[in-house]
């Protein structure tokens, strides 16, 4: 997918200056962060990376029950 991932601590000011932010907990897959303490992140809307990751997740979840049942697409 051409994404570079980096896990590290970051500051609040760095997060506020981000073009895009999102959480990836197991319970909600990809959750866009559009504001931090009332300040918009990027344009204040879910960004393209979060949307793309959500599409990938949704496809995997849609296929997962088929694999569990032995059915293949």
Question: C-alpha distances in angstroms, 49 versus 6, 18, 39, 52, 55?
Answer: 15, 12, 20, 5, 10
β 35-36/39-40 pair status: antiparallel
Backbone angles phi, psi at 26, to 5 degrees: -60, -30
For residue 12, the model assigns a pLDDT of: 92
Does 73 score more than 60 pLDDT?
Answer: no
Give the whole-angstrom CA distance, residue 17 versus residue 54.
Answer: 23
Does 72 score more than 90 pLDDT?
Answer: no
For residue 10, the model assigns a pLDDT of: 92
State mean pLDDT over 25-38.
Answer: 86
Q: What is the pLDDT of residues 5-26, one digit of tens each?
A: 788 999 999 998 999 998 888 7
Does 43 score more than 90 pLDDT?
Answer: yes
């Amino acid at each position: 997918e051409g994404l570079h991932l980096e896990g590290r601590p970051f500051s609040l000011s760095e997060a506020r200056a981000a073009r895009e932010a999102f959480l990836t907990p197991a319970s909600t897959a990809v959750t866009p962060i559009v504001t931090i303490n009332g300040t918009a992140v990027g344009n204040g809307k879910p960004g393209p990376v979060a949307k793309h990751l959500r599409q990938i997740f949704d496809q995997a979840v849609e296929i997962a029950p088929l694999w569990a049942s032995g059915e293949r697409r």
